[in-house]
Structure 1
Amino acid sequence: MFNIPAITWSLTAVLLLSGSYHALQAARSRQRTDRVNNILHALMNILMAAMLWNLAPTTMLAQIAVLTGAALWFVIQAVARPEFKTFCAGNQGRLKCAYHALTMAGAALMLAMMNQGTTPAQGTAPAQTMTMPMPATHHAMAAAPQNTATAMFDHSPALAILPTIFFGAAAVAFLILLLRGRATATTPSHASAPRLPVRAEHGLEALGAAVMALMFATMAV
């Protein structure tokens, strides 16, 4: 699927759009925590866009480490005590931080799975560069002598099923929130300026979750 240039460019555009939005929010934010959160979101979107083109494969471990640290950062915010008001406040804020932690962890998992799919087996010729692991690659790797990387890659399609379902459901949930926000924003009592950033955030979250679900679905086949 991702060998089709139109799909790859479309997903890249969505990720870069979301990354630019978060970078802009980071520049405008007055709170340090919000600035860090938006910077991490912008970085995640950039890394995922680079993932589509298999860019900087030598820094794969560093990218996974950064995304894992970002996931831990959002977990800390989600479970922080209420007196830390700069962190996630209220049940809705904690749920949001927990989701963002899962998003960062999902991106790290995706990078790890791609690294397994593009690592050549011991004693075989280097694998051809590609954007995403395809079924043909999986069969070719299975026929080669098994090492740790290929043994783990044999389970990658099964690992991708649960994230596909989760992020697909998240995309639907954010889409419902977006449509509900549009319906309430049309009434005079809710037609205020602060509604736009919330609706934009829901829209980008829906797009981001849909991209994650699509990329994991490709790994699951």
Structure 2
Amino acid sequence: MFNIPAITWTLTAVLLLSGSYHALQAARSRQRRDRVNNILHALMNILMAAMLWNLAPATMLAQIAVLTGAALWFVIQAVARPEFKTFCAGSQGRLKCAYHALTMAGAALMLAMMGQGTTPAQGTAPAQTMTMPMPMPMPMPATHHAMAAAPQNTATAMFGHSPALAILPTIFFGAAAVAFLILLLRGRATATTPSHASASRLPVRAEHGLEAIGAAVMALMFATIAV
């Protein structure tokens, strides 16, 4: 995805560390909802790290389906009735679940955009290999090539405006990174001196810092598609 190996390795390390943190939180969580949410976040970070290296392109549709399902899961939590206390409670919790739904949807969209470059190349090679040795009349190869090019035209029609489509997620996640950074700095400035109060704020600060880093990574990866 990036032409500079140092940036690719740095983003990979950040995503894997973030995924490890969520996996550890999932193992420590006592509530099933928190366990599932952290597992989904860990999986998203792993898939994004694999996306940087174009790993397992054959499972791209399955990855998109998993991330789309995760986005729907967070949407359900965000819009659930207040009686269902196992889901997001309060306006702040619902807002957080809505943001996480957008994050999962953004990762699925990024996968779809990145996959457009590999799918046509994989589809054209077998078609050329099969048609080259066989002598055919002139109208037949033209029809055959038109049929073989149909999936490519479909992909082009779906993702032909990928750079323009990536601008809005770039702006959104860039603004989210700034917002979480402000919340992190504000939490430090308003931290109280007693140890129990600072200890209670520590998970909140870690969450804001993690969200800021994650949003910045999403914005950077979408920016590479937009340019």
Bin for the TM-score computed over the shorter chain? 0.7 to 0.9
Query: What is the Cα deviation at residue 119 of structure 1?
Result: 2.2
1:172–1:181 CA distance, 2 compared to 1 (3 A): same
Query: What is the Cα deviation at residue 192 of structure 1?
Result: 2.6
Structure 1: state its 5+ residue gaps.
none
**Deviation digits for residues 121-170 of structure 1 (CA, Å, limit 9, x no counterpart):** 69855999999999999999999996111233321011101000000000
Q: TM-score, normalised by structure 1?
A: 0.87
Contact 2:127 2:148 in 1 (8 A): no
Q: Deviation above 2 Å: which 4+ runs of structure 1?
A: 117-146, 150-153, 186-192
Contact 2:78 2:94 in 1 (8 A): yes
Query: What is the Cα deviation at residue 172 of structure 1?
Result: 0.3
RMSD (Å) for aligned C-alpha atoms: 6.7
Query: What is the Cα deviation at residue 194 of structure 1?
Result: 1.6
**Deviation digits for residues 22-70 of structure 1 (CA, Å, limit 9, x no counterpart):** 1111001000001000000000000000000101100000000000000
1:146–1:35 CA distance, 2 compared to 1 (3 A): closer
Query: What is the Cα deviation at residue 111 of structure 1?
Result: 0.3
Size of the alignment, in residue pairs? 221
1:193–1:137 CA distance, 2 compared to 1 (3 A): farther
| Greater alpha carbon shift after TM alignment, 20-29 vs 1-10 | 1-10
1:73–1:59 CA distance, 2 compared to 1 (3 A): same
1:107–1:126 CA distance, 2 compared to 1 (3 A): farther
Structure 2: state its 5+ residue gaps.
132-137
1:82–1:118 CA distance, 2 compared to 1 (3 A): same
Contact 1:124 1:144 in 2 (8 A): no
Higher-helix-fraction structure: 2
Contact 1:119 1:127 in 2 (8 A): no
Q: TM-score, normalised by structure 2?
A: 0.85
Contact 1:44 1:107 in 2 (8 A): yes
| Greater alpha carbon shift after TM alignment, 188-197 vs 156-165 | 188-197
Question: Which protein has the larger Cα radius of gyration, Structure 1 or Structure 2?
Answer: 2
Query: What is the Cα deviation at residue 185 of structure 1?
Result: 1.8
1:157–1:208 CA distance, 2 compared to 1 (3 A): same
> Quick one: percent identity of the two aligned structures?
96
